[in-house]
């Protein structure tokens, strides 16, 4: 035994004698996890969040979250002599006069973009594969909560420099606050410490940005990882994989090594983007003044869809009992996001109610095998895409020499029409892919080889699938529609007839499938 091994053994023995950690560590470090490239999306979220914490800590050393008025006298000549807030002055100083300051600003912003993009794609993977089903409903709600917090945290983050672009976004946020009936003006006055722009908004959102929301993130991420650890990870269907086992590799040393390497890959890509791709050049926008607004002022993509909704909303106000309700701000800024995110959070229970399925699920679905869910997800994605497209309608108009009015009306009509078309087309595509899978199982793969039979007929030779491939394509369940009789077992008419009818119709739509090949059909094909 070497001296290093002896020291390590003594340290481990010391810790185990006082904590009893050896048994727990042995059990959990050998825990098996499935292996699939899509599971890396969650890791990208975690690693980009760590990069956000590290880079954000660096930025706090020099950033001054104050709205006091100062005169810039730094190294950036175009801004010399201009009055600005201390926050903007410190952000410019950080960018040009602090060694590595601009790089860390860029890394921080790019990490935020990657964090939100990875979280969205990760949630889409969870949705389309059915990983949100029992017993992981709470983890799905936590994911929606993290996504919502990410939108708010990102908005507060790029609002801190107090440049003209961020000030424009803050002005829109103030309008949304004021649109809340009755109490909106009071909330806005509290947030800004008086009339817009006030003198306390930047210090207040700085505290929320660096203290409250990161703490909430850490708490939710910890709970999320604990639940994943306890409930075990989902896995894709395949030979030997059931609802009661996990096929994969142990955490130690396989996944520990992979995780360590992948963290540095994510960090390297983020640092490369921060070094070569400019992000939010605040020195070009100048300090914020309430009397100015910048053209082409788009927020980051995760806020752009709300901006697009606000832009396409027609002017509509109501004057009631001495109060003005601005529906053109209230509906797109608060009501529509609430109507979207609330059903998203409740969807695991909604699908369970529609299908009547209360079982635990640890095997994932292929999206094509659940056409209704896949089509619904695609329709919601199209809704967000139309909103995001309209959020950049001014840049689209200038770059493509188009009429901004035409773009606006395209978005207003498309937001109702395109999601419906997307739903129908996606559902038909899923059913077509199911039919293709059925033909593939029954007849095998096309080889392109033609053979002439003794009686002169030409036929193509098909290569039969392996048993493992056939099992993977046919192992999914195809439950029928939920039957809800109008009367219970005692002959008493059930209450809520309309609700039961809606549930039955939705269940019938959800259960629409192309029948899988039966064992008899497979046997007959094997003889041919």
pLDDT in tens, 43-90: 999 999 999 999 999 999 999 999 999 999 989 999 999 999 999 999
Read off the tokens for 453. 């039979």
% of residues, the chain, pLDDT over 70: 93
Instruction: Check if the beta carbon of residue 129 is closer than 8 Å to that of residue 369.
Output: no
DSSP symbols for 102-127: HHHHHHHHHHHHHHHHHHHHHHHHHH
pLDDT in tens, 452-461: 888 888 888 8
Spell out a b/e string for 447-469, using b for 16 or more CB atoms within 10 Å of the CB, else e. eeeeeeeeeeeeeeebeebeeeb
Confidence (pLDDT) at 266: 96
pLDDT band at 524 (very low <50, low <70, confident <90, very high): confident
Confidence (pLDDT) at 8: 61
pLDDT in tens, 346-370: 999 999 999 988 999 999 999 999 9
pLDDT in tens, 465-477: 888 888 888 888 8
pLDDT at 98 over 80: yes
The residue with greater pLDDT, 310 or 9, is 310
Read off the tokens for 495. 């209450």
Mean pLDDT of 484-503: 73
Confidence (pLDDT) at 27: 67
> Beta 323-326 vs 317-320: how paired, if at all?
antiparallel
Strand partners, 463: 445
Confidence (pLDDT) at 113: 96
Query: Which long-range contacts link 45-49 to residues 24+ away (Cβ below 8 Å)?
Result: 45/115, 45/118, 45/119, 45/122, 46/221, 47/262, 47/263, 47/266, 47/267, 48/111, 48/112, 48/114, 48/115, 48/118, 48/266, 48/270, 49/111, 49/115, 49/217, 49/221
On average, the pLDDT of the chain sits at 89
Confidence (pLDDT) at 246: 87
Q: In whole angstroms, what is the distance from residue 405 CA to residue 50 CA?
A: 43
Q: In whole angstroms, what is the distance from residue 404 CA to residue 393 CA?
A: 6
Residues 6+ apart with CB under 8 A from 83: 69, 70, 71, 72, 287
Q: Which of 207-216, 401-410, 411-420, 442-451 has the weakest average pLDDT?
A: 442-451
Residues 6+ apart with CB under 8 A from 69: 83, 84, 85, 86
Confidence (pLDDT) at 341: 95
Q: Strand, coil or helix: what is 354?
A: helix
∠ Cα 337 339 343 (to 5°): 115
pLDDT band at 273 (very low <50, low <70, confident <90, very high): very high
Confidence (pLDDT) at 132: 95
Read off the tokens for 480. 């029928």
Instruction: Check if the beta carbon of residue 241 is closer than 8 Å to that of residue 247.
Output: yes
Provide the 8-state DSSP code for 282: G
Residues 6+ apart with CB under 8 A from 134: 348, 352, 358, 359, 360, 361
pLDDT at 15 over 70: no
Q: Strand, coil or helix: what is 378?
A: helix
Confidence (pLDDT) at 490: 67
For 281-327, the three-class secondary structure string (H helix, E strand, C coil) is: CHHHCCECCCCCCCCCCCCCHHHHHHHHHHHHCCCCEEEECCEEEEH
pLDDT at 5 over 70: no
Mean pLDDT of 268-297: 88
Read off the tokens for 321. 């009992």
pLDDT in tens, 154-186: 999 989 999 998 888 888 889 889 888 888 889
Read off the tokens for 56. 């954000």
% of residues, the chain, pLDDT over 90: 53
Confidence (pLDDT) at 20: 66
> What ranges in 208-318 are assigned the alpha helix state H?
213-231, 256-276, 301-312
Instruction: Give the torsion sign (CA, 134, 136, 137, 140).
Output: negative
Confidence (pLDDT) at 12: 63
Instruction: Check if the beta carbon of residue 374 is closer than 8 Å to that of residue 368.
Output: yes
Confidence (pLDDT) at 22: 65
Confidence (pLDDT) at 21: 66
Other C-beta atoms within 10 Å of 125: how many?
Answer: 17
Please list the helix, strand and coil fractions of the chain in percent, rounded to the nearest 5, in that order. Answer: 65, 5, 30
Confidence (pLDDT) at 1: 61
Confidence (pLDDT) at 503: 84
Confidence (pLDDT) at 432: 96
Q: In whole angstroms, what is the distance from residue 168 CA to residue 299 CA?
A: 10
Instruction: Check if the beta carbon of residue 404 is closer than 8 Å to that of residue 389.
Output: no
Closest C-alpha among 96, 72, 75 to residue 287:
72
pLDDT at 484 over 70: yes
Closest C-alpha among 44, 34, 41 to residue 248:
34
pLDDT at 482 over 70: yes
Other C-beta atoms within 10 Å of 473: how many?
Answer: 19
Other C-beta atoms within 10 Å of 30: how many?
Answer: 10
pLDDT in tens, 136-160: 999 999 999 999 999 999 999 989 9
Q: In whole angstroms, what is the distance from residue 93 CA to residue 96 CA?
A: 5
pLDDT band at 448 (very low <50, low <70, confident <90, very high): confident
Q: In whole angstroms, what is the distance from residue 474 CA to residue 441 CA?
A: 8
The ranges assigned to domains in the chain are 31-310
The residue with greater pLDDT, 101 or 295, is 101
Confidence (pLDDT) at 248: 85
Whole-angstrom distance between the N-terminal and C-terminal Cα of the chain?
Answer: 66
Instruction: Give the torsion sign (CA, 297, 301, 306, 311).
Output: positive
Residues 6+ apart with CB under 8 A from 278: 106
Maximum alpha-carbon separation in the chain? 96
Closest C-alpha among 53, 71, 60, 78 to residue 281:
78
**What pTM did the predictor assign?**
0.91
Mean pLDDT of 22-27: 67
Q: Which fold has domain 31-310?
A: Cytochrome Bc1 Complex; Chain C (1.20.810)
Residue matched to tokens 């300051």: 101
Mean pLDDT of 382-406: 92
């Amino acid at each position: 035994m070497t001296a290093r091994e002896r020291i390590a053994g003594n340290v481990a023995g010391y810790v185990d004698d006082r904590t009893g950690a050896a048994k727990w560590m042995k059990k959990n470090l050998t825990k098996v996890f499935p292996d699939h490239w899509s599971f890396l999306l969650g890791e990208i979220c975690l690693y980009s969040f760590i990069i956000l914490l590290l880079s954000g800590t660096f930025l706090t050393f020099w950033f001054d979250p104050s709205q006091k008025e100062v005169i810039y006298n730094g190294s950036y000549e175009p801004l010399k002599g201009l009055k600005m807030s201390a926050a903007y002055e410190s952000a410019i100083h950080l960018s040009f006069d602090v060694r590595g300051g601009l790089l860390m600003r860029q890394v921080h912003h790019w990490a935020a973009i990657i964090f939100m993009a990875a979280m969205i794609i990760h949630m889409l993977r969870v949705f389309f594969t059915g990983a949100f089903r029992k017993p992981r409903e709470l983890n799905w709600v936590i994911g929606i909560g993290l996504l919502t917090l990410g939108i708010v945290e990102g908005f507060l983050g790029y609002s801190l420099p107090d440049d003209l672009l961020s000030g424009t976004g803050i002005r829109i946020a103030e309008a949304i606050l004021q649109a809340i009936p009755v109490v909106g003006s009071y909330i806005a006055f509290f947030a800004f410490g008086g009339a817009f722009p006030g003198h306390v908004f930047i210090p207040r959102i700085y505290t929320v940005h660096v203290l409250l929301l990161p703490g909430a993130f850490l708490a939710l991420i910890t709970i999320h990882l604990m639940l994943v650890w306890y409930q075990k990870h989902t896995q894709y269907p395949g030979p030997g994989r059931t609802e009661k086992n996990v096929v994969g590799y142990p955490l130690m040393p396989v996944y520990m090594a992979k995780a360590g390497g992948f963290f540095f890959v994510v960090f390297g890509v983020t640092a490369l983007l921060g070094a070569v791709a400019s992000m939010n050049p605040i020195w070009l926008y100048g300090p914020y003044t309430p009397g100015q607004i910048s053209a082409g002022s788009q927020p980051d993509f995760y806020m752009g869809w709300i901006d697009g909704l606000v832009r396409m909303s027609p002017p509509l106000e109501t004057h009631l009992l001495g109060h003005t309700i601005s529906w053109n701000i209230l509906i797109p800024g608060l009501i529509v996001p609430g109507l979207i995110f609330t059903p998203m959070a409740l969807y695991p229970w909604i699908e369970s109610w529609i299908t009547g399925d209360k079982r635990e699920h640890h095997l994932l679905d292929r999206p094509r095998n659940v056409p209704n869910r896949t089509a619904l997800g695609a329709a919601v994605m199209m809704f967000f895409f139309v909103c995001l497209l309209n959020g950049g309608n001014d840049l689209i108009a200038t770059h493509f020499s188009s009429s901004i009015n035409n773009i606006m009306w395209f978005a207003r009509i498309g937001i109702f029409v395109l999601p419906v078309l997307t739903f129908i087309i996606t559902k038909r595509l899923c059913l077509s892919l199911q039919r293709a899978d059925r033909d593939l199982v029954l007849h095998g793969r096309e080889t392109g080889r033609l053979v002439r039979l003794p009686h002169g007929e030409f036929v193509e030779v098909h290569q039969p699938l392996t048993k493992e491939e056939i099992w993977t394509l046919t192992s999914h369940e195809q439950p029928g529609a939920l039957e809800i009789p109008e009367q219970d077992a005692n002959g008493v008419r059930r209450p809520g007839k309309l609700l039961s009818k809606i549930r039955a119709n939705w269940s019938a739509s959800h259960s629409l499938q192309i029948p899988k090949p039966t064992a008899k059909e497979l046997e007959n094909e094997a003889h041919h």
